[in-house]
């Protein structure tokens, strides 16, 4: 059970500390006691065991006090910080009491090893909703500026009567992808930063959006290497709408999947994957007595997960739509590509097929709402526009945290982690010199180049 400590900050709180005063009184009594004993004429005779116990009692209490203080040091510090924060954030100036007699701010907190949870309980109509919603930001700024620790607002949520903030203290760091032996090799888990992992089971489908040069393809390179390194059985399918480096690497050096670069080959690739998906469902459904709702790879551990990367989907679809205009409706490729891609995104999870779509933009005409809702991993690299904030995260731009987008950074959302807002994302640094992509792909798929 989580036990929160509640602290009430009061304006002009007398800094007198009851415990400290108590200790001082005890100390004085103890010293006086010994003085009287020491200077008494027959002190040696009267120094019997009762005196000894009486003399040692304050000392014992004194030691207990010190231990109590040491154990509670963290809480004391937090109380003090919250008192100062209440004053600094002007939380004590407003009050429900018309005569302004009691000026208080109520906080509860739980200090953990990895995270600290702080709750602010506004009293009555003390603050407006927008003021309360702004407290996490202001508190973070205050704690950052007055302590020597990092205060990373991992989560914030407005509950019925209070706002709950979760703070971490270990700043997230970029991963460096420069050696196969350094990779985590976790089954169906792809570390994205030091603290964040793409859990393919939890968020099987993904979306990466960003302007040109923002680092989409490089991020895909890191993900692909980690994915193939995790299991020899895993296979990779690639659609590269720009027929760029990615396609040239995967088509020539990946021998456990397929690569497509135009409408026709993309459709064939998607048909093949849909066939595989239905075969996998069929194989799982043969065991009619199986009660478990498990994925294909869980049912058949010797087989691998499939990852489809659709890089530059917008470029591909735009091109296909342009050439479709000259074709009769039945022969048009774009709707066929759409329906097969959608089918994989919506139904691929249980067949252990994941899809990551990527592009400079992802308007609704390219990725419809039903597909978009299935994308549990969402990354926006570079600056996000108002329209993109809505498209990618379903939020207004002002609801997104301000993050540093230099050095291939951006924002990330991972479903199922109970986050309130997207988080800052630092894309892994892919070191092409130490881990040449094509060579590594060939090595990982069993064909040494
Ligand atoms: N995470 C990274 N680590 C190291 N270098 C990076 C990273 N991301 C991008 N770069 C550098 O920036 C260049 C452009 O990145 P990248 O090709 O991945 O962008 P993009 O978003 O795919 O652009 P486009 O939309 O034009 O395809 C890369 O060639 C690489 O040199
Ligand atoms: Mg690219």
Candidate from 192, 209, 215 with most ligand 1 atoms within 8 A of CB, to mutate: 215
Same domain for 330 and 395, yes or no, is: yes
108 with 6: CB under 8 angstroms?
Answer: yes
Residue identifier of the C-alpha nearest atom 14 of ligand 1: 213
CA pair distance 209, 215, nearest whole angstrom: 9
- Is residue 328 within 8 Å of 256, Cβ to Cβ? no
**How far does the centroid of ligand 2 lie from the alpha carbon of residue 444, in Å?**
22
Name the token pair of 370.
Answer: 């039903």
CA of 212, closest atom in ligand 1: 25
Cα angle 364-366-369, degrees, rounded to a multiple of 5: 40
212 C-beta closer than 6 A to ligand 1: yes
Q: Tell me how many domains the chain contains.
A: 2
402 in Cβ contact with 140 (< 8 Å): no
Q: What is the mean pLDDT of residues 213-242?
A: 94
pLDDT in tens, 406-421: 889 999 999 988 787 8
- For residue 382, which atom of ligand 1 is closest to its CA? 21
Give me the pLDDT at residue 20, please.
Answer: 62
302 and 232 both lie in a single domain: yes
Tell me what pLDDT residue 91 has. Answer: 86
Q: What is the DSSP-derived secondary structure letter of residue 399?
A: G
Shared-domain flag, residues 280 and 426: yes
Position 287 scores a pLDDT of 74
At which residue do the structure tokens 């549990």 appear? 376
pTM, entire model:
0.76
Same domain for 254 and 233, yes or no, is: yes
Same domain for 267 and 392, yes or no, is yes
Rounded Cα distance, 447 and 257, in Å: 13
What pLDDT was estimated at residue 79?
92
Ligand 1 pocket check for 215: Cβ under 6 Å = yes
What pLDDT sits at residue 229?
A: 93
Look up the domain containing 165 and give its range: 1-171
pLDDT tens-digit profile of 161-215? 899 999 999 888 999 999 988 887 788 899 999 989 999 999 999 999 999 999 9
- Whole-number Å distance, alpha carbon 89 to ligand 1 midpoint, is 42
Report d(CA 105, CA 109) in Å as an integer: 13
Quick check: CB of 213 below 6 Å from ligand 1?
yes
Whole-number Å distance, alpha carbon 365 to ligand 2 midpoint, is 20
Same-domain status, 142 and 192: no
pLDDT at 224: 95
Are 168 and 118 spatial neighbours (Cβ–Cβ below 8 Å)?
no
pLDDT digits (tens, 9 = 90+) for 83-96: 999 989 888 865 55
pLDDT at 432: 93
Q: Does the CB atom of residue 427 touch ligand 1 within 6 A? A: yes
Contacts of residue 200, Cβ cutoff 8 Å, sequence gap at least 6:
188, 189, 190, 305, 354
Q: Which tens digits make up the pLDDT trace of 15-73?
A: 445 566 677 777 777 777 777 766 665 555 555 666 667 767 777 887 887 787 777 67
pLDDT number for residue 58: 74
Tokens of 448: 């040494």
- Ligand 1 atom at minimal distance to the Cα of residue 359: 25
Please tell me the residue having the least CA distance from ligand 1 atom 9: 215
Q: Mark whether 134 and 188 lie in a shared domain.
A: no
- Asked if the model's pLDDT at residue 277 lies above 70, the reply is yes
Q: Of residues 53 and 377, which shows the higher confidence score?
A: 377
Ligand 1 geometric centre to CA of 37 (Å): 82
Over the chain, what is the mean pLDDT? 86
Ligand 2: centre distance to CA 117 (Å) = 40
The residue among 120, 138, 171 that closes a domain is 171
Same domain, 136 and 208: no
Cβ contacts of 161 within 8 Å, gap of 6 or more: 121, 122
Give the pLDDT confidence score for residue 15 in this predicted structure.
45
Q: Please indicate whether residue 361, judged by its CB atom, sits closer than 6 Å to ligand 1.
A: no
Q: Are residues 313 and 386 in the same domain?
A: yes
Q: Which ligand is nearest to the CA of 314?
A: 1
Instruction: Please say which residue of 139, 156, 171 terminates a domain.
Output: 171
The CA 222 to ligand 1 mean position distance, Å, reads: 11
Which carries the bigger pLDDT value, residue 46 or residue 156?
156
Decide: 405 in ligand 1 pocket, CB within 6 A.
Answer: no
C-alpha 217 to ligand 1 mean position (Å): 6
**pLDDT score for 47:** 57
CATH number for the domain that contains residue 410 = 3.40.50.300
Pair of tokens at residue 380 = 């926006």
Task: Tell the residue nearest (CA) to atom 3 of ligand 1.
Answer: 429
């Amino acid at each position: 059970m989580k036990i929160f400590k509640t602290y009430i900050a009061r304006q002009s709180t007398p800094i007198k500390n009851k415990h400290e005063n108590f200790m001082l009184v005890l100390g004085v009594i103890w010293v006086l006691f010994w003085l009287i004993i020491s200077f008494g004429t027959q002190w040696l005779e009267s120094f019997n065991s009762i005196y000894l116990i009486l003399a040692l009692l304050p000392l014992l209490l004194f030691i207990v006090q010190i231990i109590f203080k040491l154990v509670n040091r963290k809480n004391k510090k937090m109380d003090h910080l919250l008192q100062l924060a209440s004053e600094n954030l002007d939380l004590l100036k407003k009050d429900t009491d018309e005569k302004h007699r009691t000026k208080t701010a109520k906080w509860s907190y739980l200090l953990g090893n990895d995270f600290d949870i702080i709750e602010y309980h506004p009293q009555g109509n003390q603050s407006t909703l927008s003021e309360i919603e702004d407290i996490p930001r202001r508190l973070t700024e205050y704690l950052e500026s007055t302590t020597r620790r990092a205060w990373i607002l991992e989560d914030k949520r407005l509950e019925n009567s209070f706002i709950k903030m979760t703070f971490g203290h270990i700043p997230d760091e970029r991963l460096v992808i420069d050696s196969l032996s350094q990779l985590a090799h976790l089954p169906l888990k792809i570390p994205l930063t030091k603290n964040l992992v793409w859990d393919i089971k939890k968020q099987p489908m993904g979306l990466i959006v960003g302007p040109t040069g923002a680092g989409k393809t490089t991020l895909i390179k890191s993900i692909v290497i980690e994915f193939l390194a995790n299991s020899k059985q895993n296979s990779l399918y690639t659609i590269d709408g720009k027929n760029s480096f990615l396609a040239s690497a995967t088509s020539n050096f990946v021998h456990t999947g397929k690569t497509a670069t135009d409408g026709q080959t993309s459709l064939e690739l998607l048909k093949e994957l849909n066939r595989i998906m239905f075969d996998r469902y069929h194989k799982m459904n043969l065991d009619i007595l199986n009660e478990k709702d498990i994925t294909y790879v869980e049912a058949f551990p010797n087989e691998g997960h499939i990852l489809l990367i659709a890089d530059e989907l917008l470029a591909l679809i735009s091109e296909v739509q342009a050439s479709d205009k000259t074709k009769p409706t039945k022969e048009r490729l774009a709707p066929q590509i759409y329906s097969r891609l959608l089918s994989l995104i919506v139904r691929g999870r249980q067949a252990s097929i994941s899809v990551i779509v990527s592009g400079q933009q992802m308007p609704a005409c390219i990725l419809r709402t039903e597909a978009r809702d299935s994308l549990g991993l969402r990354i926006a690299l570079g600056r996000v526009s108002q329209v993109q904030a809505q498209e990618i995260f379903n939020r207004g731009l002002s609801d997104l945290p301000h993050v540093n987008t230099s050095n291939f950074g951006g924002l990330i959302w991972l479903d199922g982690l109970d986050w309130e807002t997207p988080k800052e994302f630092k894309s892994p640094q892919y070191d092409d010199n130490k881990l040449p992509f094509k060579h590594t792909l060939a090595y990982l798929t069993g064909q040494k180049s």
